[in-house]
């Protein structure tokens, strides 16, 4: 990759310069040429990408996935959690509301947006979770995973929003009871963290923090203890947020 070439060139030139008995002025020239070569290699590597993609990938390694995000957004947290679990190399690019970069990458203007090492842009958090799982060799086709993700996205999001923002919790309890029945334990679909946990965790975090999950949902409470103790999830948790879903 151009990144490795530039690193090699830079290190090679500096190594030779240190061993050289060249005058100071000539060593300065060698150092300047080495630095210019690194800049050229990096810019040449980015030339293959469109403007917004090149901007998003600026500073990233050749094998890095770049997540354009806002850490207070639960959908961005999903994608971040997926990357933490994946073992893939990645960088986070934090953006503000109304960022032109986000609109350039995703016409809807929504985060998260994932830019892969080849410059492919993936929007929508669930599509990103799926892509990351596939690339990391951790995709699960288990029916439990699909059922939980469907319940979270089709029912929990709406019921949770009404309960969290408007204090209308009537629809939430039945949804949580149904989700509780699907939990295998210790994680959503069994012994391993899957896309089901990743899809649900940011949303349920906000419900647990407001004590909106009934004690009768014992499977969910056991699951929450397991997932919230996981370092990969803890890295993504913020205590102050103003986006719900």
Tell me: pLDDT of 58 over 90.
yes
Task: Measure the CA–CA gap between 105 and 52, rounded to whole angstroms.
Answer: 6
Q: Name the least confident of 2-11, 108-117, 150-159, 191-200.
A: 2-11
What would the mean pLDDT of 160-183 be, rounded to a whole number?
94
| Helices and strands, number each (H, E), in the chain | 12, 4
Of the candidate ranges 32-41, 136-145, 217-226, the one whose mean pLDDT is the lowest = 32-41
Q: Do 102 and 110 form a contact (C-beta atoms < 8 A)?
A: yes
State how far the Cα of 128 lies from the Cα of 139, in Å rounded to an integer.
12
- pLDDT at residue 1 is higher than 80: no
Whole-model pTM: value is 0.80
Comparing C-alpha atoms, which of 138, 240, 123, 242 is closest to residue 197? Answer: 138
Q: Are residues 70 and 101 in contact, defined by beta-carbon separation less than 8 angstroms?
A: no
Local confidence band at 15 (pLDDT 50, 70, 90 cut-offs): very low
**What's the chain's average pLDDT?**
85
The confidence score (pLDDT) of residue 29 equals 45
Give yes or no for residue 5 having a pLDDT over 70. Answer: no
Sign of the alpha-carbon dihedral angle for 187, 225, 65, 79: positive
């Amino acid at each position: 990759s151009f990144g490795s070439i530039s690193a090699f060139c830079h290190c090679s030139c500096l190594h030779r310069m240190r061993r050289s008995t060249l005058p100071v002025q000539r060593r300065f020239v060698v150092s300047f040429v080495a630095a210019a070569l690194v800049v050229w290699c990096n810019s040449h590597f980015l030339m293959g990408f469109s403007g917004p993609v090149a901007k998003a990938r600026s500073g990233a390694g050749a094998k890095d996935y770049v997540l354009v995000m806002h850490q207070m957004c639960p959908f961005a947290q999903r994608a971040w959690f997926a990357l933490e679990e994946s073992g893939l190399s990645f960088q986070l690019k934090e953006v503000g509301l109304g960022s032109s970069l986000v609109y350039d990458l995703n016409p809807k203007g929504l985060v998260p947006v994932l830019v892969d090492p080849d410059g492919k842009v993936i929007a929508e958090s669930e599509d990103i979770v799926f892509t990351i799982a596939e690339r990391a060799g951790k995709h699960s086709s288990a029916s439990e995973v699909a059922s939980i993700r469907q319940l979270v996205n089709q029912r929990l999001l709406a019921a949770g929003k009404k309960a969290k923002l408007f204090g209308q919790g009537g629809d939430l309890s039945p949804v949580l009871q149904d989700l509780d029945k699907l939990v295998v334990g210790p994680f959503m679909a069994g012994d391993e963290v899957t896309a089901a946990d990743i899809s649900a965790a940011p949303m349920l975090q906000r419900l647990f923090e407001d004590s909106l999950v009934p004690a009768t949902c014992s499977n969910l409470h056991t699951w929450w203890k397991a997932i919230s103790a996981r370092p990969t999830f803890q890295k993504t948790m913020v205590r102050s947020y103003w986006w719900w879903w």
